[in-house]
Structure 1
Amino acid sequence: MTVIADNTVAQDGTQPQGAVADSRLDQGPQEVSDRLIASAARLSRNAMTEVDWDEPLDPTKYGCSPEWCTLYGTDLWNSLDEKQQIELTKHETASVASNGIWFEMILQEMVLRDQYLGEYHSPEFQWSLIEIADECRHSLMFAKGSEKLVGTSYRPSKLVGFLGQGFKLLARKEVAYAGILVAEEVLDVLQRGCMNDDRVLPFVRTINEIHVLEESRHMKFAREEVRESLKGVGWLRRQISALIIAIAGFVIVGSLHSPQAYVNAGLDRKQAMAARQKNAHFHSMMRGSCQHLMEFLDSVGLLTRPAAYWYRRAHIL
């Protein structure tokens, strides 16, 4: 595989896990946008035609790799038979997808607002429209995927929904784009870990592959916007922004796996939540896979000591 300049991969459209963006060729959002527009024209996918939405579910296949289940390796997980384990992974995958829709809607609103009175002829504006269109298609893909997997969907709590309203209303510049980046990177981690696993349902693997491919471009753009927004920024603003982004990341990560998913999978809510909170295996998987995200935040001065506290609470540092 040969990595191309926009951080996608020429052969299969993915980037290697843990890769840190190389900014040596980056000259700013306009130049990056030009490359991303060209990449989207070559590599964009269509889940409505690529996924067989009518194919019956194989009862022996998981919704995600077992190792990426929040309860994997716990006594509770080991007490379940394989059928129950499979059912749990289906509900967890539906929860991650559903809450992905929630944040993608926040993302779309923030990007639209950022470009509301932008330079409409510019590559940056044109790429932003492509990104919004991508996110609309991803949300539809996730919605249909959740319906097929478990026949239901999950939403964040009312409190988190309220906080999300505030974030999309108030977040600007590096706070908005770094918040987008954290959410997209964590979702990318969960999907990348399952998309090549033959134990996982084929249609779920295809969804993950499409999303990982197209989000690699979105994350490239977000990283460049963060770098651009932080040029010449003073110490105090950087400290405040870093803390807001970290708290937002903590809330987002904590919302991906809904407690109701455990209930719908036939587990006791309190028992499952307690096991998840103490699951060192899952926490280790998340920390290792988010290393490149933490390296980027550190490189732009957004991994401050107060911010690191919240990332550790979210088990991604």
Structure 2
Amino acid sequence: MDTTLGATLDPARRTTHDASQRLLDSSAALSYDPMTEVDWDAPLDPSHYGLNPEWSTLYGTRLWSEMTEQQRVTLTRHEVASIMSTGIWFEMILQQMVLRDQYCADYSRPDFQFALTEIADECRHSIMFARACQKMGISAYFPTRSSIQLGRGFKSLATAEVAYGGILVAEEVLDVMQRDWMRGEQVLPIVRTTSKIHVVEESRHMKFARQEMRERIEGAGPRRRQTSALVIAVAAHVIVSNMVNEKVYAAAGLDPARALAEAGANEHHKTLMRSSCAHLMEFLDELGLLTRPALAFYKRVSMV
């Protein structure tokens, strides 16, 4: 670590400097190359799910009990492909926001260097998810047209705690899901391995996002906190509502209207979502970013 530089910083900046250096050291010690870590040539076992069945949007519903085993396998594969597609979409937004944030920053600082390391990670993750979907024989799923346009605005305008808050939301929600999938014995090995890679490397990204949010929000007044809280919540709503595309149900041979209705009323899935967001909500509350208007958006997608 550059102790000379660290010694010249004020205590708050020195803490950020040291934390970023630790993340850089961790990246150097433990990172993966998906092109060699994933067995892309292995055949797919037709009995393996795309994700743990418990994470399916229809698990526990009457429709789920009526589905054949093949329909369940097909649905979960399309669901995970949709989630991966949404991940690629947001990772492209993330990369642009981080690049804007670091434009002409101090190149010698470890937080600048880790930001570029994160961008490199996200590029590999996007290619990894794209190849996994291709391997499963599933075409890309896309967000709604309005969400794509909102994403354009968000990636162009979001700064400071709003940008890193949006990043943290996307990463935290997916992290809990993938920690479960990577241990699922019924889950396709290709999904288990890509989930493991993503979990390990995203854990550093989440620490960096939290670190940046704490630093950027420090000293902010009530009005700024209210505004930032609302924008982050709207971004979270857009991300989560696009994770599972409604077309996955038709792909599994289901009646889309009935499937959407039962998925929307599925208390089991809502409980899983709330539990996966518990730590995120605690952190946002700690920063004064869990306001009443923000809560209304989180509740709409069962994040609280």
TM-score (norm 1): 0.90
Q: 2:213, 2:14 → 1: CA distance?
A: 13
- Which residue does the alignment assign to 2:38? 51
Post-superposition Cα deviations, 1:131-174, rounded to whole Å, max 9, x if no partner, equal 00000000000000111123311111111100000111110100
- Which residue does the alignment assign to 1:94? 81
User: Which of residues 110, 114, 120 in structure 1 aligns to 2:107?
Assistant: 120
**Aligned pair in 2 of structure 1 residues 76, 119: CA closer, same or farther (>3 Å)?**
same
- Which residue does the alignment assign to 1:262? 249
Q: 1:288, 1:82 → 2: CA distance?
A: 27
- Which residue does the alignment assign to 1:140? 127
**Aligned pair in 2 of structure 1 residues 35, 171: CA closer, same or farther (>3 Å)?**
same
Residue 263 of structure 1, CA deviation: 1.7
Alignment of 1:278-293 (within 5 A): 278-293=265-280
Residue 28 of structure 1, CA deviation: 3.6
User: Which of residues 227, 242, 261 in structure 2 aligns to 1:274?
Assistant: 261
Q: Secondary structure of 1:150's match?
A: coil
Post-superposition Cα deviations, 1:59-99, rounded to whole Å, max 9, x if no partner, equal 11110000000110001111101111001000000000011
Q: 2:150, 2:242 → 1: CA distance?
A: 12
Q: 1:29, 1:276 → 2: CA distance?
A: 42
Q: 1:110, 1:143 → 2: CA distance?
A: 21
Letter in 2 for 1:288: S
Q: 1:78, 1:189 → 2: CA distance?
A: 25
Q: 1:183, 1:27 → 2: CA distance?
A: 28
Q: Secondary structure of 1:93's match?
A: helix
Alignment of 1:235-254 (within 5 A): 235-254=222-241
Q: 1:273, 1:91 → 2: CA distance?
A: 15
Structure 2 gaps, min length 5: 1-11
What percentage of aligned pairs have identical amino acids?
Answer: 56
Cα contact 2:78–2:138 (8 A) shared by 1: no
Cα contact 2:82–2:244 (8 A) shared by 1: yes
User: Which of residues 128, 152, 173 in structure 1 aligns to 2:139?
Assistant: 152
Q: 1:224, 1:28 → 2: CA distance?
A: 9
Matched, 1:29 2:16: yes
Q: 1:278, 1:150 → 2: CA distance?
A: 30
Q: Secondary structure of 1:292's match?
A: helix
Letter in 1 for 2:117: I
- Which residue does the alignment assign to 2:64? 77
Residue 303 of structure 1, CA deviation: 0.7
Letter in 2 for 1:186: V
Letter in 2 for 1:75: R
Q: 1:174, 1:231 → 2: CA distance?
A: 10
- Which residue does the alignment assign to 2:8? none
Alignment of 1:289-308 (within 5 A): 289-308=276-295
Q: 2:48, 2:16 → 1: CA distance?
A: 42
Matched, 1:181 2:181: no
Q: 2:135, 2:114 → 1: CA distance?
A: 31
Q: Secondary structure of 1:193's match?
A: helix
**Aligned pair in 2 of structure 1 residues 153, 111: CA closer, same or farther (>3 Å)?**
same
Number of matched residues?
293
Matched, 1:166 2:153: yes
Residue 29 of structure 1, CA deviation: 2.9
Cα contact 2:161–2:228 (8 A) shared by 1: yes
Q: Secondary structure of 2:49's match?
A: coil
Matched, 1:41 2:33: no
Q: 1:180, 1:73 → 2: CA distance?
A: 31
Cα contact 1:91–1:150 (8 A) shared by 2: no
Q: 1:75, 1:27 → 2: CA distance?
A: 56
Cα contact 1:28–1:224 (8 A) shared by 2: no
Matched, 1:110 2:97: yes
Cα contact 1:241–1:302 (8 A) shared by 2: yes
- Which residue does the alignment assign to 1:219? 206
Residue 27 of structure 1, CA deviation: 5.2
Structure with more of its chain in helix, by fraction? 2
